[in-house]
């Protein structure tokens, strides 16, 4: 599904990600771990084409992101749900509208949007806050809204960047349950996290980064 070949990304003569070779198959759930600044976020950004690699190529579902026409980028992104590390919620829209936006952009009808958004909100346990604005939510609540937005369109690929950084262990567990359920339905998932509890004893692939390099792969 996603193939990284010889990927490097260099910022101001400092490599955020270097010589990465990685193959993620359709329907897999893979963890990416590493210390602060190891390159986890950068690796995910390369997948949803927020950055382009300086060397190497990434192929997603047959499309090479480096040679993709600019006009096609929106359509590639519509197949990828992203839980951003910094949430990227729009503070002038309610929780409902923030999540609905992902569907409106895709041209989904309002009637259907209503159903899907309320389902997503139920999953993350925030149905009662649908009319609140992001800045009136607690950190963990905001994070869960971001997660709801990422999964609301049942994407082919889900990228989750530190999705439980602001969540207590109870909430973290229920989010992981949601991810595994979506994964079971066929969505390919990459989760970047420093929280070892998330993958401990899951039997899933864990990719380790250190200063931008892939230094090993274990099973959680």
Ligand X SMILES: Nc1ncnc2c1ncn2[C@@H]1O[C@H](COP(=O)(O)OP(=O)(O)OP(=O)(O)O)[C@@H](O)[C@H]1O
In the complex with ligand X, the residue whose CB is nearer, 103 or 134, is 134
What distance in Å separates the CA atoms of residue 203 and residue 41, rounded to the nearest whole number? 23
Using the contact rule CB under 8 A, the part of the chain among 31-39, 74-82, 177-185, 211-219 near a copy of itself is 31-39
Closest approach, Cβ 75 to other proteins, in A, equals: 7
Alpha helices (runs of H) in the chain, residue ranges in sequence order:
40-47, 73-77, 95-105, 110-123, 139-151, 169-184, 196-199
Closest approach, Cβ 77 to other proteins, in A, equals: 4
Q: Residue with the closest Cβ to ligand X?
A: 140
Distances (CA, A) of 71 to 34, 62, 68, 74, 77: 34, 17, 8, 7, 11
How many residues sit in the footprint of ligand X (CB under 6 A)?
A: 20
Q: Which residues of 76-85 are buried (b: 16+ CB within 10 A; e: fewer)?
A: beeebbbbbb
**Partner from other proteins, ligand X, a copy of itself, none contacting 130, C-beta within 5 to 8 A by type:** none
Asked if residue 92 binds other proteins (CB under 8 A), the reply is yes
Asked if residue 75 binds other proteins (CB under 8 A), the reply is yes
Question: Residues interacting with Mg ion, by CB under 5 A?
Answer: 41, 85, 138-139
């Amino acid at each position: 599904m996603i193939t990284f070949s010889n990927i490097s990304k260099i910022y101001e003569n400092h490599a955020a990600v270097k010589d990465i070779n990685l193959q993620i198959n359709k329907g897999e759930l893979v963890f990416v771990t590493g210390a602060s600044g190891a390159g986890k976020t950068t690796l995910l950004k390369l997948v949803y084409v927020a950055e382009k690699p300086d060397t190497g190529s990434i192929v997603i579902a047959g499309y090479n992101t480096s040679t993709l026409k600019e006009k096609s980028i929106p359509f590639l992104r519509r197949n990828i749900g992203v839980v951003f590390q910094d949430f990227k919620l729009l503070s002038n829209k309610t929780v409902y509208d923030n999540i609905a936006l992902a569907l409106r952009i895709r041209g989904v009808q309002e009637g259907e949007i209503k159903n899907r958004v309320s389902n997503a909100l139920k999953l993350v346990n925030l149905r009662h806050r649908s009319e609140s604005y992001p800045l009136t939510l607690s950190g963990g609540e905001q994070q869960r809204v971001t997660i709801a937005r990422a999964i609301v369109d049942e994407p082919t690929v889900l990228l989750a960047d530190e999705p439980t950084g602001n969540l207590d262990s109870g909430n973290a567990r229920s989010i992981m349950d949601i991810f595994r359920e979506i994964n079971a339905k066929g969505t390919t998932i990459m989760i970047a996290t420093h929280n070892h509890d998330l993958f401990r004893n899951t039997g899933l692939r864990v990719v380790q980064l250190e200063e931008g390099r892939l230094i090993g792969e274990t099973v959680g």
